[in-house]
Amino acid sequence: MRIGVITFPGSLDDGDVVRAVRRCEAEAVPLWHGDAELHGVDAVVVPGGFSYGDYLRCGAIARFAPVMGPVLEAAAGGMPVLGICNGFQILCEAGLLPGALTRNAGLHYVCRDQWLRVENTRTAWSTRYEPGAEILVPIKHGEGNYQADKETIAALEAENRIVFRYIEENPNGSRADIAGICSANGRVLGLMPHPEHAIDPLTGPSDDGLGMFYSALDSLVKVTNE
Amino acid sequence: MARVVVEVMPKPEILDPQGQAVAKALPRLGFTGIGEVRQGKRFELDVDDSVDDAALHRIAEEFLANTVIEEFTVRRVGS
Amino acid sequence: MARERMIDTTAEAAKTPELDQPYAELGLKDDEYARIREILGRRPTEAELAMYSVMWSEHCSYKSSKVHLKYFGETTTEEMRTRLLAGIGENAGVVDIGDGWAVTFKVESHNHPSYVEPHQGAATGVGGIVRDIMAMGARPIAVADPLRFGAAEAEDTRRVVRGVVDGIGHYGNCLGLPNVGGELVFDSSYNGNPLVNALCVGAMRSEDLHLAHASGTGNKVILFGARTGLDGIGGVSVLASETFEGDETSGGRKKLPSVQVGDPFTEKVLIECCLEVIRAGIVVGIQDLGGAGLSCATSELASAGDGGMRVELDRVPLRAKDMTPAEVLSSESQERMCAVVAPEHVDAFLAVCAKWDVTATEIGAVTDGDNLVITWHGETVVDVPPRTVAHDGPVYQRPVQRPESQDALQANTSASLARPDDLRRTVLEMLAAPNLAAKRWVTDQYDRYVRGGTVLAQPADSGMVRVDEQTGRGISVATDCNSRFVALDPYEGARLALAEAYRNVACGGATPLAVSDCLNFGSPEDPGVMWQFREAVRGIADGCAELGIPVTGGNVSFYNQTGSTAILPTPVVAVLGVIDDVDRRIPAGIGTETGETLLLLGETRDEFDGSEWARVAHGHLGGLPPKADLAWEKLLGEILVAGSRDGMISAAHDVADGGLIQAVIEMALIGQTGARVLLDPDQDPFVQLFAESAGRAVVAVPRSEELRFTEMCTARGLPWRKTGVVDAESGSLEIQGVAEFSLTELAETWNATLPRLFD
């Protein structure tokens, strides 16, 4: 299994995603923002960071990077795509996911260990979790306040596309406590928390994040077998 | 009530990374012929007639702008 | 206007020897100006004057501190140097940590800019220290920020705290460097003068160590990174106003603030770009552009080489119009580096810069001459022996005098202060005090997870990151300074700062290896301040000799005062440690093992002079600080490391500000696990709970290891006492016979203070 990890100028957690992918014994393939080519990968992760400095708006410049063209095409064809933090912001700016991430309600950047509830275990990135499972994953962002109009939120709820919800405390003011959402076909997932920082209790609060990467590998095996 | 617009811009000699990032991205998107870009903030305030220009100036100078690195303009744009 | 005619060249300087020059406005004394004329055999040009004035300033030349800093070298033995790959004099010291890894670390102050514009001042402080580390060829792997602000309730403190924390967070978070520690102290002496110190640690393979050399005639000098603007040329704008005399419209630079705006995104790509050229082996030398911009970088690079250097200054990419050579040389625009590259590697170097979209320009070359020659559109504006600019600045023997008030300060002990009857209330009052309260409001604004190697971070005693993913080898770093102790006795106080940082590193299970410092003091023109400074330097140096670890570098910041009142003397000491496998780190929180015993290592005495209790309860500062016994600290450190190595310790925490009870409460709250504290019936409970005797730590040991561990302590002569048991079921902290608290009550008290003050 080959999982592509995009590096934009200003990407920060690309190395951590590569480590997480390797821990699941899959091959991590570095993808460069200026290269309009996915090099035959089976899935793509858009990692966290401050792509192009996140000036103008988070993700607003990165969505036009050459590598994003093939990502949009592949997503349309059903390839699993995961956007973490800045990656989530980029996927929203690119129109792969609805809504937008705005400044945290508390106006501060927040880095802390956050409990989440897994609300949908049938997406390409969440099958390894038990329905309703509670997982502990770090968050670290200044603009993670998920906003969309009422109709969009209602549709996300109705279609069970809210995959992760903040529990105990909503750290950023997100509507409906949304931490992560998926595309209508469940192949594209965007979330603010960082599963790649929860792969080993030595360096993170838990290893709860590994489930996302294993889920993607499972979904790829299934596709291959079918 | 009147509408007052306060515009805050980084001072010309101060580095503006945000504007610079936009300027650098434009050619990549196929827009040419654009030189420098500077990014600022615009505030719209609905104010009572009792608020005089001096007070508006103070609001801009002491609060909305950081005059160490930013400059500002205050305009009344009618009601 | 025809600006070219106004450029002051060396030819012009030779022709007009009597021209009146504004050297005094640039901070040069009469004799210093005379010396420059003597060196050059003529008057300096405007550009030369700009270079000398900034490089001979206190900040760059260490002219007041040099005579005292020599003591660090004199007290460092060959044995202490064995792990040192580079020391004082380089951008930062480099230490061999084993497995072929070298680590470099340094602390620097950005105090004054952070008061003028807290956000940008603090942000560019992080940027500057990170470039220092890059200039050694290392990848920055962690940052930490020792911060000191005015009284927590003082009017201006909120503005400064919010700006500084936001600035550090914004810049460091965008760079992708985990922030793993630091300090947060409030004291009214910092009201008009916060201390914003920034520490960075970098790691490299030993063979990649790059010193700032410019050897090799014909090698090219390349400036890369951001464009050069009018940032931070406040001082030199005197020259501009001279040049533009009578023309207020284009010459209105007199009021330029000395503020620089940082662009962390440019710095992030600069890091990746630098590391790529270093890995590719296509640089001879590399130098960051810091305080004195190109003046510093060109003169230091040229002095470090074996020849001269020629620079075509007009090739420097500019951001502002009509800059003069003096302004280009003095600009403190951020995110710039300078490299010396062999001609055959220039194309490869520029290709890497292009890949990262980093502006890079060849601005000159190494020559076989002796001088640094800088031209501007073909005319020579600087022609100087580079060492005279970079290294042969003035050296002052400032008067040193122990202040007369010191005796009275030391005589005013805490012995007469009324002690509390209600210990329960005192526990809560202390826990909520700004200096003891939880620092989450600050540290939650910093990314501690990025790079995936952080194993310890605030609120642990030290920050620890993994360096080698295969072997698990890692480093640890802690900074400390109790400036109240330093004020009472600068020599002893500085040793206490060293002892505490050393202990904090050991509490995580790492072996302390090296020391760096950031010496923040008042005006060197005050003999009393110079006395504090000299005593503190001696205290740190003598302490390091006793501990057997070297000082690898440091930074001095003078003129820290509000009006004419100096800050409390604040020699911040940073200790770097190594651990061969981070898997064996000792966490600060209890409850990781079932059934733990709490042991207090060390001895508690009735010591309250300079303590946090004296401040909180009585606003008192006087007497003598506790004694630092460094042989004892060394033994305690060895026991903690041995306990970690043999898996005997499940948690450890240094006992310092606030005393034993503060340490135990923090261990319980971090581990979210209850405990019972057992006091010694033969000693006053108040003293046991709140005294700040040095050389102590609380450890939690699994019951199965208790005997083995205590026998080791006894055998090695380290006093220990069973001071409690972990009680996972209780959800409370009980001080037997004194009081009981629910963990919820303690957590609320501990966590409420900073959000209340600063949100």
User: What is the percent of chain C with per-residue pLDDT over 90, rounded to a whole number?
Assistant: 84
Determine the pLDDT at residue C726: 96
Q: Where are the alpha helices (DSSP H) in C250-322?
A: 264-279, 293-304
Q: In what order do the strands lie in the sheet with B70-76?
A: B41-47, B2-10, B70-76
What residue in A sits closest to B22 (Cα-Cα)? A56
Cβ–Cβ gap C583/A10 under 8 Å: no
Whether chain B has a CB inside 8 Å of the CB on A55: the answer is yes
Question: Does residue C166 come out as left (phi exceeding 0), alpha (psi in the -120 to 50 range) or beta?
Answer: alpha
Which residue of chain C is at minimal alpha-carbon distance from A203? C455
Name the CATH architecture for the domain at A2-225.
3-Layer(aba) Sandwich (3.40)
Give B10's contacts in chain A (Cβ within 8 Å): none
**pLDDT level of residue B17 (50, 70, 90 thresholds):** confident
* C360 burial type by CB count under 10 A (0-12 exposed, 13-18 middle, 19+ buried): buried
- Convert the pLDDT of each residue in C381-433 to its tens digit: 999 999 999 999 999 999 999 999 999 999 999 999 999 999 999 999 999 99
Domain spanning B2-76: CATH 3.30.1280.10: yes
> What is the nearest CA distance from C745 to chain B, expressed in angstroms?
38
Contacts B20 to C, Cβ<8 Å: 263
Between chains, do C263 and B69 touch, taking CB under 8 Å as contact?
no
Confidence label for A221 from pLDDT (cuts 50, 70 and 90):
confident
- Of all residues in chain C, the one with the smallest CA distance to A142 is C445
pLDDT of C568 over the 80 cut: yes
Taking an 8 Å cut-off on Cβ atoms, the answer to whether B15 and C259 are in contact is: no
Q: Contact C264/A50, CB-based, under 8 Å?
A: yes
Q: Which amino acid is at C10?
A: T
**Mean of the pLDDT values across residues C511-523?**
97
Q: Does C116 touch chain B (CB under 8 A)?
A: yes
Coil/strand/helix, residue C479: strand
> Is-contact C235 C27, C-beta < 8 A?
yes
Q: Would you state the CATH architecture of domain C75-208+403-758?
A: 2-Layer Sandwich (3.30)
Averaged pLDDT for residues C493-510: 98
pLDDT bracket for residue B25 (50, 70, 90): confident
Q: Interface partners of C (3+ CB pairs, < 8 Å)?
A: A, B
> Which chains are within 8 Å of B by 3+ CB pairs?
A, C
Q: Residue C163's closest chain B neighbor by CA?
A: B66
DSSP E strand boundaries for C586-738: 596-601, 651-654, 675-677, 697-702, 720-726, 732-735
CB-based contact (8 Å) between A168 and chain C?
A: no
Distance, CA of C114 to CA of C357 (rounded, Å): 30
Domain extents in chain A: 2-225
Interchain CB contact of A36 with B (< 8 Å): no
Q: Is the predicted pLDDT of residue C640 greater than 80, yes or no? A: yes
Flag whether pLDDT at C250 surpasses 80.
no
Residues of C in contact with A111 (CB under 8 A): 443-449
pLDDT digits over C651-691, tens only? 999 999 999 999 999 999 999 999 999 999 999 999 999 99
Q: Which residues of C touch A140 (CB under 8 A)?
A: 173, 447, 449-450
The end-to-end CA distance of chain B, in Å, is 6
- Give C533-546 pLDDT, tens digit per residue: 999 999 999 999 99
Q: Are C542 and C631 in contact (CB under 8 A)?
A: no
Query: What is the rounded end-to-end Cα distance, in angstroms, of chain A?
Result: 16
Beta strands in C342-427 (DSSP E): 360-367, 372-376, 379-384
> Cβ of A164 under 8 Å from any chain C Cβ?
no
Model pLDDT, residue C211: 65
Sign for the pseudo-dihedral over CA of A115, A121, A124, A127: positive
| C110 in catalytic set | yes
User: Residues spanned by CATH 3.30.1330.10 within chain C?
Assistant: 75-208+403-758
| pLDDT beyond 80 at A138 | yes
Rounded to whole angstroms, the Cα distance separating A100 from A145 reads 8
Specify the pTM: 0.93
What distance in Å separates the CA atoms of residue C472 and residue C469, rounded to the nearest whole number?
A: 5
Q: Mean pLDDT, to the nearest integer, of C183-210? A: 93
Question: Mean pLDDT for chain C?
Answer: 92
In CATH, the architecture of C3-64+218-367 is: Alpha-Beta Complex (3.90)
Report the residue of chain C nearest A34, measured CA to CA.
C355
Rounded to the nearest 5 percent, the helix, strand and coil shares of chain A are 30, 25, 45
The whole-number pLDDT of residue C538 equals 98
What is the residue whose two structure tokens read 């922030």?
A: C179
Domain positions in chain B are: 2-76
Return the amino acid letter for C586: I
Contacts of C225 (CB under 8 A, 6+ apart): C266, C270, C289, C335, C336, C337, C358, C359
Burial category of C684 from C-beta neighbours within 10 Å (exposed 0-12, middle 13-18, buried 19 and up): middle
Confidence label for C236 from pLDDT (cuts 50, 70 and 90): low
Does residue C88 carry a pLDDT above 70? no
Please list the residues that pair with C276 across neighbouring strands.
none
Residue C40 main-chain phi, psi, to 5 deg? -85, -20
The per-residue pLDDT of chain A, averaged, comes to 95
Rounded CA-CA distance B39/B21 in Å is 10
Is the pLDDT score of C134 beyond 80? Answer: yes
Residues of B with CB under 8 A from a CB of A: 17-18, 20-22, 25, 28-29, 39
* Alpha carbon distance C373, C142 (integer Å): 38
B5 in contact with chain C, both atoms CB, cutoff 8 A: no
* Euclidean distance between CA atoms C574 and C558, whole angstroms: 19
Strands C697-702 and C675-677: unpaired
Strands C195-205, C101-109: pairing kind:
antiparallel
How far apart CA C414 and CA C467 sit, in angstroms, is 45
Is residue C238 predicted with pLDDT exceeding 90?
no
If pLDDT is split at 50, 70 and 90, which confidence band does C593 have? confident
The pLDDT value given to residue C255: 46
Beta strands per DSSP E along C110-187: 139-149, 179-186
C602 DSSP assignment: S
| Active-site entry in A24, A85, A92, A182 | A85
Q: What is the pLDDT of residue C93?
A: 84
Query: What order do you get walking across the sheet with C675-677 strand by strand?
Result: C651-654, C697-702, C596-601, C720-726, C675-677, C732-735, C739-742
Nearest Cα to Cα of residue C102 among C90, C89, C85, C88: C85
Nearest to C560 by CA among C550, C545, C549, C571: C571
Listed residue (C317, C427, C345) closest to C686, CA to CA = C427
- The upper half-sphere exposure of residue C507, i.e. CA atoms within 13 Å in the direction of its Cβ, equals 35
The count of C-alpha atoms lying within 13 angstroms of the C-alpha of A123, restricted to the half-sphere facing its C-beta, is 29
Q: Output the six-digit token pair for C12.
A: 């012009």
Q: Name residues 261-300 of chain C within 8 A of B (Cβ).
A: 261, 263, 265-266
SS3 content of chain C, % helix, strand, coil (to 5): 40, 25, 40
Q: Prior bond to C459 cis, omega within 30?
A: yes
Can you tell me the mean pLDDT for A174-191?
97
Which distant-in-sequence residues (6+ apart) come within 8 Å of C645 by Cβ? C509, C584
pLDDT in tens, C66-80: 999 999 999 999 999
A53, A55, A111: residue with CB nearest C446: A111
Question: In this structure, what token pair is assigned to residue B72?
Answer: 């500002």
Contact between chains at A56 and B29 (C-beta distance less than 8 A): no
Chain B residues touching C123 at Cβ < 8 A:
none
CA distances from C40 to B30, B52, C31, C33, C35 (A): 54, 60, 14, 11, 9
Q: Is the pLDDT of residue B14 over 70?
A: yes
- Confidence bin at C251 (pLDDT 50/70/90): very low
**DSSP H or E segment with residue C755:** helix C743-758
pLDDT digits (tens, 9 = 90+) for A5-57: 999 999 999 999 999 999 999 999 999 999 999 999 999 999 999 998 888 88
Interchain CB contact of A39 with C (< 8 Å): no
CB-CB contact of C699 with C615 (8 Å): no
- Distance in angstroms (rounded) separating the CA atoms of residues C285 and C279: 13
Please write the tens of the pLDDT for every residue from C271-322. Answer: 999 999 998 999 988 899 987 899 999 999 888 887 899 999 999 999 888 8
| CATH 3.90.650.10 segments of chain C | 3-64+218-367
- Give SS3 for A17: helix
pLDDT (mean) for C225-249: 61
CB A16 within 8 A of CB A140: no
Of A162-166, B69-73, C454-458, the one with minimum mean pLDDT is B69-73
pLDDT of residue C254 exceeding 50, the answer is no
ipTM of the complex in this document: 0.96
Give the pLDDT mean for A57-85: 94
What b/e string do you get for C66-93 counting C-beta neighbours within 10 Å, with b at 16 or more?
Answer: ebbbebbeebbeeebeebbbbbbebbbb
- CB contact (8 A) between residue C450 and residue A16: yes
- The verdict on a CB contact (< 8 Å) between C259 and B14 is yes
- Does residue B17 sit at the C interface (CB-CB below 8 Å)? yes
Q: Is A194 among the catalytic positions?
A: yes
The CA distance from A8 to the nearest CA of chain B, in Å, is 13
pLDDT in tens, C205-225: 988 776 656 678 999 999 999
- Residues whose CB is less than 8 angstroms from the CB of residue C405 and which lie 6 or more positions away in sequence, other chains included: none
Rounded CA-CA distance C738/C686 in Å is: 10
What are the residue ranges of helices labelled H in C595-658? 612-618, 630-645
Q: What is the pLDDT of residue C563?
A: 81
Residue of B nearest to A55 (CA): B18
Tokens 């991205």 identify what position?
B25
Q: How many CB atoms lie within 10 A of CB C254?
A: 12
User: CB distance A10–C265 less than 8 Å?
Assistant: yes
Residues 6 or more apart from B25 whose CB is under 8 A from it? A52, A56, A61, A64
Report CB contact under 8 Å: A197, C447.
no
